[in-house]
Structure 1
């Protein structure tokens, strides 16, 4: 059995501390991608507890892009990234928009495209910018906090996805 190495290793091409946080963000994504690899369209679209795995994957990518453009960069969304989101993230009642019929490759491509955009912008960030608050209408937020929040957000939904998969696999 291969010995595991349970350490956080800063990603290259980032300031060291930023690279550690980005490694954590990437590790959460890695575990999701490994777990959903090869799941069926039926499992992606199956609505459980109000939403589907596909809806959660769409939501994860949408929220990551939103925090990047609206809060960290304070600019309009890259049109290419915006094109991945033809629907709003939530319905008028606050529930997640049900996403159906998009295959796993489409979900993974959207997730990776948003992540590539985030990595591109954070790769050039120095420690001063990393910790500098953006003064927005309703709150102040630093890129450091955004990455913390994205780790927390994606980890939460990872747990939901894993539970949903477990329920689905138990039924098949």
Structure 2
């Protein structure tokens, strides 16, 4: 029987470990939702204004990358970062044009690359850091809420992915 717990994780302070355990579970379920998808399935658009599963996966990585730049690096994305991450961050028409033709391994690699840096940074922070106040999107916030938002955004898009996958099974 598998354990489903939010718990301490070795290498992290207690509260950061709780956050990481939640992020790990969300990522596990996201990867289960996209298991074995083909490039065709990853590129499928559910509607003319919709996003593909591939675009949503890339977006998940881009959101986390954006917060890494903002929170860990204390700056806005530079021109090179915008060239790589702008379309997946914003999605829309640019995302529909630019994000296609990639394998599942490409998207998983992007997700892992970004998450690896997050975990490296978290390992060097303490629980007090989570509660540091900051302004985010013109609202009083703290680091805990911002990183909660990273995986909350992933949960929302995972729901979209599951719906698109059901649409695909009807269209095959």
Please list, as runs of the form range in 1=range in 2, the aligned pairs for 1:1-172 lying within 5 A after superposition.
3-49=1-47, 50-75=50-75, 84-85=84-85, 87=87, 89-90=89-90, 97-98=95-96, 99-135=99-135, 138-172=138-172
Deviation track 1:56-113 (CA, whole Å, cap 9, x = no partner) reads 011111111112211454136599977753746326xx56712101111111101110
Unaligned regions of 5+ residues in structure 1, if any? none
Provide the C-alpha distance between the structure 1 equivalents of 2:90 and 2:43, rounded to a whole number of angstroms.
Answer: 16
- Relative to total residues, which structure has the larger helix share, 1 or 2? 2
Query: In angstroms, what is the RMSD of aligned CA positions?
Result: 2.6
Larger CA deviation: 103-112 vs 132-141? 132-141
**Matched positions, count:** 168
Q: What's the CA shift string for 1:104-147, capped at 9, x where partnerless? A: 11111011101111111111111221211234683343221112
Say whether the 8 Å CA contact 1:55–1:96 is kept in structure 2: no
Supply the distance in 1 between the matched residues of 2:95 and 2:111 (Cα, whole angstroms).
17
When normalised by structure 1's length, the TM-score is 0.84
Q: Is the 8 A contact 1:81 1:113 kept in 2?
A: no
Q: Distance in 2 between matches of 1:10 and 1:79?
A: 38
Structure 2 regions of 5+ residues with no counterpart? none
Structure 1 residues 168 and 34, CA gap change in structure 2 (3 angstroms):
same
